[in-house]
Structure 1
């Protein structure tokens, strides 16, 4: 599981989309990072709560060497090295947090186009599905990330994914099994979409914007 179809070590980005310090979202991201390590998969974990990424504006396009570009470049470089992304979105009043929407304004085709993404909703109770729906609708138009059909919703998150080993709590046992299945799918999509990226058929100079 740790290598792609070309025999190279796979690398997956984990985006923790909460703007709260020491959040349950960050906890889930850390556990997923541990699980990827057991598979021999490298990871890049980005906690948006600790990242001072300014609000996006059009100076990002108008000033190629401006402050926004300079702050984004190291993040973009890391994303460019990844074959897939995992995006974890807490449920804030039925919405994805603004820090996560801001992150996707920065993402472009050079970082994430034709790479598979796994969406994970997080809720301390029984919610979590609405941010997943929102991100499927609104986050991929111009950057062309490919959300895979499967997604995860971690309900009762305080009792779940506290470590790489499942507890006896039935929800934790279930979500650990679903995580394994979703990571299996994500890595296979990563292998398959590598062929699409290598084909050169995507012409984003002519068609930079989705319809």
Structure 2
């Protein structure tokens, strides 16, 4: 099994990326292969319609490594900071690139990160607006990492109650994601989805 982890902060060396690397270590300890992209360190170019009109253009070439890796993945984890209650544009931009070949009928886990007590609104935004055409299947479970500066700073939970709770809850969510990945592979293998006839969601 292979899981992609997308760190959606626009800030280099972000708390979001810290959580992403923590998830990599957890998954690799379970013998699950991972690929991690930190969009704060290497953002994609702004998406525009040349992606379709220029099949060999700059945007297609930039997306090719992501396309190849995502196609091989069984699931995806999207991490977003809470910026004024919104998902940063760099992560929204990422999902504009995604198509059915990369993410359709694959489970996704949303992880929202807040330096204080926020974090829920970016979860709602991703559920509403990021899956229409690429058909990613966000699982019902999600994580909201509040007071993130006090969390995920060591492999084992510290004395902070927030850290103890979120580390335990993270293990639970990852176990669910793995089982969804196994189950949805059956849907993909069935080839029941006809995305040539119905390329766009309603």
Normalised TM-score (structure 1): 0.95
Report if aligned partners of 1:19, 1:97 keep a CA contact under 8 Å in 2. Answer: yes
Name 2:129's counterpart in structure 1.
138
Cα RMSD (Å): 0.6
Report if aligned partners of 2:6, 2:39 keep a CA contact under 8 Å in 1. Answer: yes
Name 1:39's counterpart in structure 2.
30
Q: Distance in 2 between matches of 1:168 and 1:177?
A: 14
Name 2:142's counterpart in structure 1.
151
Report if aligned partners of 1:117, 1:148 keep a CA contact under 8 Å in 2. Answer: yes
Report if aligned partners of 2:6, 2:20 keep a CA contact under 8 Å in 1. Answer: yes
Normalised TM-score (structure 2): 0.99
Q: For residue 16 of structure 1, report the CA deviation from its aligned partner.
A: 0.1
Q: For residue 42 of structure 1, report the CA deviation from its aligned partner.
A: 0.7
Indicate whether 1:68 and 2:59 are aligned. yes
Indicate whether 1:123 and 2:114 are aligned. yes
Name 1:30's counterpart in structure 2.
21
Unaligned runs of 5+ in 2: none
Name 2:193's counterpart in structure 1.
202
Q: Distance in 2 between matches of 1:164 and 1:128?
A: 23
Q: For residue 52 of structure 1, report the CA deviation from its aligned partner.
A: 3.9
Q: Distance in 2 between matches of 1:52 and 1:194?
A: 29
1:54 corresponds, among 33, 36, 45, to 45
Name 1:4's counterpart in structure 2.
none
Name 1:186's counterpart in structure 2.
177
Name 1:113's counterpart in structure 2.
104
Q: How does 1:83-94 map to 2 (within 5 A)?
A: 83-94=74-85
Report if aligned partners of 2:43, 2:90 keep a CA contact under 8 Å in 1. Answer: no
Shift of the 52–122 alpha-carbon distance from structure 1 to 2, 3 Å rule, reads closer
Indicate whether 1:160 and 2:151 are aligned. yes
Q: For residue 31 of structure 1, report the CA deviation from its aligned partner.
A: 0.4
Name 2:7's counterpart in structure 1.
16
